[in-house]
């Protein structure tokens, strides 16, 4: 097995003082010699970190000691080298920018669909109620170009903040169907699914854990290509291995 553990995780939760968490996380992650990016905002935390497994898993365990992050779920993959050059811990207005303040996943989630159920629906061509299923890719266009679910809707987004306008412009394509929004690790499709619900589109699900969890649990059935990741690995195949050399 490759020696470097890579972890991605997010948690929508109300944080009263993201700046205080910034200092604590930077100190602990630096002490553990971890590299990657941690984003904090009043709506929660989003992180991509890499390092030796004992240190990184210890860091995650430390985070989970705080009530705000006790339910933090992680996606793991491995690489021969650390795919980040430095550690960055930043405070932002949003941990994933949508520019739509009424969408607040930290207060309530849209229904989440597990990987096995989505694979079964795609195999059958419909959901358990017999409705046609549409997979909706909420990633940017260049990410979709590397790989997507067969037949997925792709609205050629330049950035995630374009999603609300695109959803309203294409709502007729979703009428009468069960919509499953998906993204890399789950964070974008959480907000996307909530926006679709707010717009009266439904039934809507978010793919729980995104593509990384789907690959882990299903081997990537019905997915074509690889999944772009925002580090020096560039993309992962459905076995969660680098699809291109670092």
Cβ atoms of 77 and 212 closer than 8 Å: yes
Structure tokens at 73: 């779920």
Cβ atoms of 203 and 179 closer than 8 Å: yes
Q: Whole-angstrom Cα distance, residue 237 to residue 244?
A: 9
- Burial of residue 84 (CB within 10 Å: 0-12, 13-18, 19+) is buried
Cβ atoms of 86 and 35 closer than 8 Å: yes
Residue of 183, 189, 204, 236 marked active site:
183
Unique residue bearing structure tokens 């959480």: 190
Structure tokens at 153: 């809707």
Is residue 183 annotated as a catalytic residue, yes or no? yes
Q: Whole-angstrom Cα distance, residue 10 to residue 235?
A: 19
Q: Whole-angstrom Cα distance, residue 231 to residue 85?
A: 9
Unique residue bearing structure tokens 């097995």: 1
Q: Whole-angstrom Cα distance, residue 223 to residue 243?
A: 14
Residues known to be catalytic: 183
């Amino acid at each position: 097995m490759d020696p470097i553990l890579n972890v991605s995780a997010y948690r929508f939760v109300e944080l009263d003082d993201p700046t205080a968490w910034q200092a604590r996380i930077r100190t602990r992650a630096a002490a553990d010699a971890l590299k990657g990016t941690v984003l904090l905002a009043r709506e929660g935390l989003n992180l991509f970190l890499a390092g030796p497994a004992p240190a990184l898993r210890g860091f995650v365990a430390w985070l989970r000691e705080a009530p705000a992050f006790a339910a933090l779920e992680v996606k793991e993959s491995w690489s021969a080298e650390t795919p980040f050059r430095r550690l960055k811990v930043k405070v932002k207005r949003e941990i994933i920018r949508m520019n739509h303040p009424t969408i607040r996943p930290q207060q309530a989630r849209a229904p989440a669909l597990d990987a096995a159920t989505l694979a079964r629906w795609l195999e059958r061509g419909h959901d358990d109620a017999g409705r046609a299923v549409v997979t909706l890719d909420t990633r940017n266009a260049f990410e979709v170009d590397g790989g997507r679910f067969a037949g997925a809707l792709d609205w050629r987004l330049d950035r995630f903040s374009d999603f609300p306008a695109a959803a309203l412009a294409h709502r007729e394509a979703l009428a009468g169907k069960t919509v499953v929004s998906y993204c890399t690790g789950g964070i974008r499709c959480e907000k996307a699914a909530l926006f679709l619900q707010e717009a009266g589109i439904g039934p809507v699900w978010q793919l729980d854990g995104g593509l990384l969890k789907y690959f882990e649990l299903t081997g990537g059935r019905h997915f074509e290509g690889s999944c772009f990741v925002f580090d020096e690995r560039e993309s992962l195949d459905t076995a969660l291995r680098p699809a291109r050399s670092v």
